[in-house]
Structure 1
Amino acid sequence: MATRSSSTALAAHRALLLDGIRAAGQISRAALARRTGLNAATVTVVVRGLINDGLIVESGRAASTGGKPAVLLSLGIESRFAVGVHLDHTATTYVLADLSGHVVARWSRRGGTDTQDPQQVVQRMAADVTALVTQVGLTLERLTGVGLVSPGPATTATGIALSTPEMQPWIEFPLVDALAAATGLPVVLGNDATAAAIGEFWAGALDPTSVFAAVYMGTGIGAGILASGHPIVGASGNAGEIGHICVVRNGLPCWCGSNGCLETVASAGAIVQAAQRAGCDLSGALIDEQFAAAARAAMNGHPAAARIFDRAADDVAVAVHTLTNILDLDQVILTGPAFAVAGPLFLPAIQQRLEQTFFARGAHPVTVSISSNATDAAATGAAAMVLQSELAPQSSASGLSLIISDPDRGISAGGSSAGAVPEAAAAK
């Protein structure tokens, strides 16, 4: 009979080898041993189990160097799939990803937490998940689970969103449990900015040792933070709320109770309001459409729109500079639907401030870039959260703390290392 410690060690070794294979794409057993520091015997035993479980496959042979060519291992990418759902205030985005994190299918629809009937939204999400999966010829049984992310703040004690103005009807609503019951699948809940950061890490956009922030701009502004693959989420899962850094002393009141927060002057809604006051012609009925119109005007040289974005970019740069100094970041990626359309209007101001005034600029530079998947970053990251429950099951109480609900086991909270979500029920 395996002891608890031996089971924990096996889970940790599986996680380490799977992540090594994922990162390498293809790798031999010997190279995997060197990469992970595990001895050859352990690698042989663990790899055998992973092959039996369908998580990895023998996918070819390395080029011969005189002896017998080494057998190469890679992920069994079609052995597991996950759905990522980004439930925003006015839209819901879905992606279906295979075990490598490759997006197989996506879909977006209008309507999110702006409804007065959360249960209706849950039923709609369950139907949408089924439709997304069946359209590519899969069944729900092929899914590892559903990753669900929404704008913060949230409480990791219950998984229930707190009192953002747009989400008042959702207070005290058991979102995770309700979606798990409606889909019959394990559900993992996370913050959209943290999910976006995990998605960037999963996609291989980062050095594994990077101390990195994904600055996410959608309805609000937040940051997902990873240090060597470990998410920094804080005591309640709300770390990285840079939208509530004060950038204007005695400024406008914010819904959070403070004044002069970044979101009061540089969020998509704040920019749209400023553009409307300046007389800009903003087409579209929704904030995201009006924001895109304002961004186009600024890029096309409209003086008032350009001034508004210049001020907003300077304010965002102040907040990013503060975050970078506190955490000694070496990489920042701008992501989210607002940066997808307006990233070039923000990037120069952020780069310039960090180049000129970042405290540790003499020790190392800070790379700032725009995500190649900014529009769907949160949904893609949500799927990655679930997939990491297969690739890196729970091995410690540190790292990412998320809410997992399994329809057969109820709701539980867990933590993991190396950017992993807890194995719990979501791993099987």
Structure 2
Amino acid sequence: MNVSGPARVTHASTRAAVLDLIRAAGMISRVGLVNASGLTGGTISTVVRGLIDEGLVAETGHAESTGGKRRVMLQLNHFARYAIGVHLDDARITYVLTNLGGAVVARISRAGAASEEPAAVVARMTREVGALIDSVGVDRDRILGLGLVSARPSEFGLELERATGLPVVLDNDATAAAIGEHWSGGVGATATFAALYMGSDIGAGVVLGGTTHRGPSGHAGEIGHACLDLDGPPCRCGARGCLEVLAGPAAVVARAREDRALTRAAGLVGGRTRPATPVATDFAAISRAARQGNARALALLERSARYVAAAARTLANALDLEVLVLTGPSFAIAGSIYLPVLREELDRAFVARGAHPVSVRLSPSAASAAAIGAAAIVLQSELVPRTQGLRLPDDLAADEPPVFQHAR
């Protein structure tokens, strides 16, 4: 795979490309769209007029004058459309309603569905999605669809679509989190980055030059199965010494249960025996103990962080990453312990550090990243489907003055 050339994003249609340019730029003029897209002024005018008529784009003011006529600025009408994202796991079901820009308008979290039958889970999600919509009072015809991410999304997708009457799209949690970061502007429009996701397991969503990379089977970014010890313990994937079995949340919890003092301090259930509580719940309890100064808990998490950092370095080297975002519910509670360890590792041993650093940061919405990303997948698939077509350039608004004056 060659990622050394200019980063580009391709779109399925002219309309999709123009809408994505406006989204990524935040504010841009028609002239800026012509320069960024390579389309003619007439084509841009026609497409923009259609987007304004649909209510998706609004004229929002003027650029600062540079001596000629001030350019009218365009931006997304963020409240023209909405999307719902649902993250289903054993510990929690998280629901979000986002606007067109990916900002969360409403959010609810409910108990997980570890022991429920699929039909009961679908019925419950349908009621809770209805409650989410009703809490905001948004018209259903302005909701583009529902994104569902879980370990087994196909088990629920079709039935949920029938029950809610909304189009449903499916994906995995790590990829969804990466798309959410990209759509909401958390990273550059054409960046090469990964969202390192840690909930009950560890995975990575990969975006290369602004385009999500899933691989032919949708399993790109399975960093949890990077081998870090050839003679290590067996993993469910069939290999030995994978990151997950050495240092994932389940491994941390298992080691904590072997320590009676830590079991008591963290309030874990069952000691050495496997508790009924989900892994993510027990991992959160250990993380809280570490933050409260428990040295045993802190040592376990720091050990885990060193393994995660080694795997992250391998991922960064293989893909020449510019940005690594830590996200997911386990990073939401333990990110302050993991973040400095990963930063130190990538500052010290990233192969291309002489050319550029890897920016490592914690997502501000790590706890609900998968649900937010699920909604972003709906927005992306409905509004800016990407395929062979027009390209999104690296510099979206280089011709625009940096200061804007809004119309009054």
Provide the C-alpha distance between the structure 2 equivalents of 1:289 and 1:123, rounded to a whole number of angstroms.
24
Aligned ranges for residues 393-412 of structure 1 at < 5 Å?
393-396=385-388
Q: Which residue of 1 aligns with 2:338?
A: 346
Hey, what does 1:331 align to over in structure 2? 323
Partner of 1:189 in structure 2?
170
Tell me the secondary structure at the aligned position of residue 235 of structure 1. Answer: coil
| The 10-residue stretch of structure 1 (254-263 or 219-228) with the greater mean CA deviation from structure 2 | 254-263
Alpha carbons of 1:395 and 1:245: their partners in 2 closer, same or farther (altered >3 Å)? closer
2:37, 2:391 within 8 Å by CA — same for their partners in 1? Answer: no
Structure 1 residue 210 corresponds to structure 2 residue 191: yes
Q: Any idea what SS the aligned residue of 2:366 has?
A: coil
- Paired position in structure 1 for 2:241: 260
Which AA in structure 1 matches 2:162? Answer: A
Pairing partner for 2:230 from 233, 249, 257: 249
8 Å CA contact 1:283–1:289 kept in 2: the answer is no
1:42 matched residue in structure 2 = 43
2:287 is the alignment partner of 1:295: yes
Per the alignment, do residues 352 and 46 of structure 1 end up closer, same or farther by CA in structure 2, a change over 3 Å counting? same
8 Å contact from structure 2 (residues 11, 386) kept in 1: no
User: Does 1:27 find its partner at 2:38?
Assistant: no
Q: Tell me which of the two structures has the higher relative contact order, counting C-alpha pairs closer than 8 angstroms and 6 or more residues apart.
A: 2
Residues 272-300 of structure 1: CA distance to partner in whole angstroms, max 9, x if unpaired? 22122123122266333432231233234
Counterpart AA for 1:139 = D
- Deviation of 1:209 after TM superposition, in Å, equals 2.9
CA distance in 2, matches of 1:352, 1:213: 17
Residues 150-172 of structure 1 deviation map (CA, whole Å, 9 limit, x = unaligned): 13xx6xxxx63xxxxxxxxxxxx
Q: Unpaired runs of 5+ in structure 1?
A: 1-8, 161-172, 398-415, 419-428
Q: What do you get for the CA RMSD once the two structures are aligned?
A: 2.2
C-alpha distance 348-11 of structure 1, shift in aligned 2 (>3 A): closer
Aligned to 2:55: 54
Once structures 1 and 2 are overlaid, which stretch shifts more, 283-292 or 245-254?
Answer: 283-292
Shift of 1:61: 2.9
CA 1:296 to 1:144, structure 2 compared with 1: closer, same or farther past 3 Å?
A: same
Deviation of 1:329 (Å):
1.1
Q: Is the 8 A contact 1:223 1:240 kept in 2?
A: yes
Does 2:266 correspond to 1:282?
Answer: yes
- 2: CA distance, partners of 1:121 / 1:284: 27
Alpha-carbon distance, 1:264 to partner? 1.2
1:115 offset after TM fit, Å? 2.5
More divergent stretch after superposition (230-239 vs 357-366): 357-366
Q: Structure 2 CA distance, aligned partners of 1:60 and 1:364?
A: 37
Corresponding position of 1:358: 350
* Matched positions, count: 372
Corresponding residue for residue 310 of structure 2? 318
Contact 1:10 1:46 in 2 (8 A): no
What amino acid does structure 2 have at the position aligned with 1:379? A
1:97 is matched with: 98
Q: Displacement of 1:70 after TM fit?
A: 2.5
- Structure 2: distance between partners of 1:230 and 1:327: 13
Question: Given the superposition, is the C-alpha separation of residues 326 and 10 from structure 1 closer, same or farther in structure 2, using an over 3 Å criterion?
Answer: closer
Residues 29-70 of structure 1 deviation map (CA, whole Å, 9 limit, x = unaligned): 112222222221110011111112221122233334444432
Secondary structure of the 2:136 match is: coil
Per the alignment, residue 120 of structure 1 pairs with 120
CA contact (8 A) 1:147 1:382 kept: yes
Tell me the CA shift for residue 116 of structure 1.
Answer: 4.2
CA contact 1:216–1:336 (8 Å) conserved in 2 = yes
User: Aligned AA for 1:69?
Assistant: R
